[in-house]
Amino acid sequence: MHVEYATDHLERPRRFEYWHDVVCRHCIPADSRLLSPIPFNGRLSVRDLGSIAISTMVAPLHRWSQEASHLRSHPDEDLWIGFAESGHGVLEQNGHQTPLADGTLVLYDAARPFQCTLEADRVYLVRLPRRALLRRFPQAERGIGQALAPHRPGVAPLRTMIQQAAALEVSDDRTGAAEQFGRALLDLAAVALEWQGEFLDGAVENDLHARLCRFIEAHFEDPSLSLVALAHAHHVSPRTVTRAFARHDQTAMGMVWHVRLQASRRALEEGRVASVTEAAFHHGFTDVSHFSRAFRRAFGRAPHTLLRPGPQERH
């Protein structure tokens, strides 16, 4: 299957809403926000090659946010590789903040929350079935949220193969060959990830750190989330949790507060809360004064300065 979408035939006010619907249908359900001051114009091309799919995206600066609520309502277990042939941005997932620049390959997970700010002159998004990838390389999840080291074996040919796959014209008598091409791409992705070796978070404590970050992203709204609760949920001691975060120059509760503050800021900026109190209580804080002080320390401004009118007030 090959489908093409573009926004240039639509009236300008409808373009980004259409873009949001198309990308969520073919990629990962998430909230989106336009960041570019220029009128939005985007193109998305989607090709299925058997069990994998490749989307080619061209769009001005915008942001995608997948929260825990999306995971509950639209569960998706696929892994993805993003390839910024030409473009820039930042992907935040699994405790990592990965810059995206020309040539970057990054692995990310549809089953975990993430934030991605992206300006796509040409970006490829490759959907990989998790089970099929893990059969080929069982430790592939170690690389989630990280860019692939470009000089390691397999990375350069993987870039080339993704570009070729995105451009394939498949006639009815070539569907079997297209599926075989998709399997070969999956094989190459597994090889490239396995050759990352020490560049991935391979140590036991790093694996624990990744699981802890995933747990925090999914449960930060719970005000009872604590160091002891994290340890209990992962069947380790609080000291082990502390050591896992210390390896990354972090603390467990510092990460909890970071995730809560980032989520509350997005809620304020996007008009999803009507008051500072609501922003605090909906994101795991139990004391509005403490929340406001922490918010100001983190972002240099008081939370009330980001309040927006809700949809009912704008219409």
pLDDT at residue number 313: 45
Under 8 Å between Cβ of 126 and 78: no
* Stated pTM of the model: 0.64
Per CATH, the number for 2-199 is 2.60.120.10
pLDDT at residue number 82: 95
The span from the CA of 120 to the CA of 229, in Å, is 40
Residues of the chain with CATH 2.60.120.10: 2-199
pLDDT at residue number 206: 54
Q: What is the pLDDT along the chain (315 residues), one digit of tens a residue?
A: 788 999 999 999 899 999 999 888 888 888 999 998 888 999 999 999 999 999 999 999 999 998 888 877 676 789 999 999 999 999 999 878 888 999 999 999 998 999 999 999 999 999 999 999 999 998 898 889 999 988 889 999 999 999 999 999 888 788 899 999 999 999 999 999 999 876 664 444 456 888 898 899 999 999 999 999 999 988 788 988 998 888 778 899 999 999 999 999 999 988 899 999 999 999 999 999 999 999 999 999 999 999 876 544 444
Identify which of 118, 134, 155 has the alpha carbon closest to the alpha carbon of residue 27: 118
Neighbouring-strand partners of residue 86: 122
Architecture of domain 204-314: Orthogonal Bundle (1.10)
Residues of the chain with CATH 1.10.10.60: 204-314
